[in-house]
Amino acid sequence: MTKALVVVTRRPPGSALEAIERAAEMWLWEEDRPIPGDRLAAAIGDAAGLYCMLTDAVDEALLRAAPGLRVVSTMSVGTDHIDLDACTAQGIAVGHTPDVLNETTADTAFALLMAATRRLGEGRDYVRAGEWQRWEPELLLGHDVHGSTLGIIGLGRVGQAIARRGLGFGMRVLYTARRRRPEAEASLGVVYRDLDGLLAESDHVVVATPLTPETTHLIDAAALGRMKPTATLVNISRGGTVDSDALAVALQSGEIAAAGLDVTDPEPIPAGHPLVGLANCFIVPHLGSSSRATRDAMADLAAANLLAGLTGERLPECANPEVYG
């Protein structure tokens, strides 16, 4: 019996490819960069499965090029690069990788919060520039993280993992979300606020909500204007949730103190972008889930989703469960 064809858009870490190769015929984009859309469209014609990354746009045009596609499996928790409705309409199950990355991504959010709030990037630059001549009583003073009020936008699984870290730092934790989470309020002791209330009351704010039409530019000039001048903004979600131009203005004018960004808009952010040159903006290149163990676990879960979809089984982690009717 001939094996189903799967297209893999990038070599994943760990042993996921071995599992895929045992079960399917595999076409792999071998280059060390995202596959261009036209190359993907050309490769996917006869495929039953697609194993992709968050850098691949899976839109209606691509789906039209893949009439036999049964499953799309992305090695990411985020699915904003995939047209879920179009997949559902075509009976294509979409797999993603929640849970396995919660703790690592929350670690990254906290690392950014600490780095930006305590000015660690500026400290590192100062040492590297040979400027460290003596101890200074007022050198690079930042603000405290411990004991402050943390506002989390989006109390999903990553948001809750961030909340637990905040509580461990003796922080009061506020959250806002599309729907209230009474179970998390009871188990964690986090407190609900509407967005404006959270922005005004929080000493630091972390954005951890998926990118949707409703959350696009949720943090705009008006939202930044509600934050405290001593506040740090951390974005661990998707770059599009924050208006980059408004953020650059707010950081330059001292409307807020600092930002820690794992994600940017545009992404990758060009070296000449105003945010990159700002000393109070600490940017890393979308490293939220980037521990070796977590990326291996994501690659394996994405392979398990793919293989389940090829055999018509329910995906272990399905992002469009309505496809099952």
Side chain identity at 269, as an amino acid letter?
A: I
State phi, psi for 51 to the nearest 5 degrees. Answer: -110, 110
CB atoms within 10 A of CB 214: 9
CB burial class (10 A; 0-12, 13-18, 19+) of residue 251?
Answer: buried
Binding-site size, ligand GLV (CB under 6 A): 7
Q: Which of residues 83-102 bind ligand GLV (CB under 6 A)?
A: 101
Quick check: is 96 catalytic?
A: no
Select from 9, 73, 76, 294 the one that contacts ligand GLV (CB under 6 A).
76
Is residue 54 part of the contact set for ligand GLV (CB under 6 A)?
Answer: yes
**In the complex with ligand GLV, which residue's Cβ is closer, 210 or 274?**
210
Q: Residue 288, interface with ligand GLV (CB under 6 A)?
A: yes
Q: Is residue 289 part of the contact set for ligand GLV (CB under 6 A)?
A: yes
Q: Report the residue number, 77 or 256, with the smaller CB distance to ligand GLV.
A: 77
The distance of closest approach from Cβ of residue 176 to ligand GLV in the complex, given in angstroms and rounded to an integer, is 21
C-alpha to C-alpha distances, 42 to 58, 84, 181, 206, nearest whole angstrom = 13, 21, 45, 40
Q: Is 239 one of the binding residues for ligand GLV (CB under 6 A)?
A: no
CB under 8 Å to 120, separation ≥6 — which residues?
Answer: 114, 282
Q: Which stretch binds ligand GLV (CB under 6 A): 72-80, 108-116, 153-161, 249-257?
A: 72-80
Nearer to ligand GLV, 241 or 280 (CB): 241
Ramachandran quadrant class, 74 (left: phi over 0; alpha: psi -120 to 50; beta: rest)? beta
Residue 128 corresponds to which tokens in the numbers above? 């590297």
> Which of 66, 77, 100, 242 touches ligand GLV (CB under 6 A)?
77
**297 neighbors 12 (Cβ within 8 angstroms):** no
- Name the token pair of 321: 């469960």
Which residues 195-214 are close enough to bind ligand GLV by CB under 6 A? Answer: none
Identify which of residues 48 and 101 has a Cβ nearer to ligand GLV in the complex. Answer: 101
Assess 104 for contact with ligand GLV (CB under 6 A): no
Residue with nearest beta carbon to ligand GLV = 78
Spatial distance between the Cα atoms of 187 and 184, rounded to a whole number of angstroms: 5
Q: Kindly tell me which of 69 and 100 has the beta carbon lying closer to ligand GLV.
A: 100
78 counts as binding ligand GLV under rule CB under 6 A = yes
DSSP states of 37-93 as a string? HHHHHHH-TT-SEEEE-TTS-B-HHHHHT-TT--EEEESSS--TTB-HHHHHHTT-E
- Min. distance of Cβ 106 from ligand GLV in angstroms? 13
Interface residues with ligand GLV (CB under 6 A) are: 54, 76-78, 101, 288-289
- Catalytic annotation, residues: 286
